[in-house]
Amino acid sequence: MTRKSKRSGEFELIAKYFAPLAKGEPGALGLKDDAAYLKPRPGFDLVLTTDAIVEGVHFFPDDPPATVAQKALRVNLSDLAAKGAIARGYLLTLTLPSGIDEVWVAAFAKGLSADQAKFGVALFGGDTTATPGVTTISITALGEVPRGQMLTRGGAQAGDDVWVTGTIGDATLGLKLLKREGFDLAKSHRQLLITRYRVPEPRSKVGPALKGLAHACIDVSDGLMADLGHIAEVSNVGIEIAVHDVPLSAAAKAAIQRGVELGELLSGGDDYELAIAAPSSARSRLLALAVETGVPLTRVGRVVKGRGVTALAADGKPVRTRRMGYTHF
Residues that bind Mg ion (CB under 5 A): 79, 219, 221
Cα separation, 49 vs 38, whole angstroms: 15
Cα three-residue angle 149-150-153, rounded to 5 degrees:
125
Cα separation, 213 vs 287, whole angstroms: 12
Give 65 or 143: the residue with its C-beta nearer to Mg ion.
143
Sort 316 into a burial class: Cβ within 10 Å, 0-12 / 13-18 / 19+: exposed
Q: How far is the CB of 221 from Mg ion (least distance, A)?
A: 5
Indicate the SS3 state at residue 147.
coil
Cα separation, 64 vs 16, whole angstroms: 20
Q: Are the CB atoms for 142 and 88 separated by under 8 Å?
A: yes
Q: How far is the CB of 226 from Mg ion (least distance, A)?
A: 11
Q: Are the CB atoms for 219 and 82 separated by under 8 Å?
A: yes
Q: Which helix (H) or strand (E) holds 218?
A: strand 216-219
For residue 158, give the nearest of 248, 56, 280 by alpha carbon.
Answer: 280
Q: How far is the CB of 79 from Mg ion (least distance, A)?
A: 4
Give 79 or 115: the residue with its C-beta nearer to Mg ion.
79
Q: How far is the CB of 228 from Mg ion (least distance, A)?
A: 13
Give 204 or 221: the residue with its C-beta nearer to Mg ion.
221
For residue 58, give the nearest of 313, 269, 310, 253 by alpha carbon.
Answer: 269
Give 31 or 77: the residue with its C-beta nearer to Mg ion.
77
Give 49 or 128: the residue with its C-beta nearer to Mg ion.
49
Ramachandran assignment for 95, one of left (phi > 0), alpha (psi -120 to 50 degrees), beta (any other): beta
Q: How far is the CB of 207 from Mg ion (least distance, A)?
A: 11
Beta pairing class for 161-165 and 122-131: unpaired
For 48, 125, 191, 274, the CA distances from 140, given in Å and listed in that order, are 7, 10, 29, 20
Give 13 or 220: the residue with its C-beta nearer to Mg ion.
220
Q: How far is the CB of 292 from Mg ion (least distance, A)?
A: 24
Q: How far is the CB of 94 from Mg ion (least distance, A)?
A: 22
Complete DSSP assignment for 275-286: EEEE-GGGHHHH
Give 79 or 270: the residue with its C-beta nearer to Mg ion.
79
Beta pairing class for 44-54 and 136-146: antiparallel
For 67, 123, 201, the CA distances from 115, given in Å and listed in that order, are 10, 11, 11
Q: How far is the CB of 114 from Mg ion (least distance, A)?
A: 23
Give 61 or 325: the residue with its C-beta nearer to Mg ion.
325
Give 25 or 271: the residue with its C-beta nearer to Mg ion.
271
Q: How far is the CB of 76 from Mg ion (least distance, A)?
A: 9
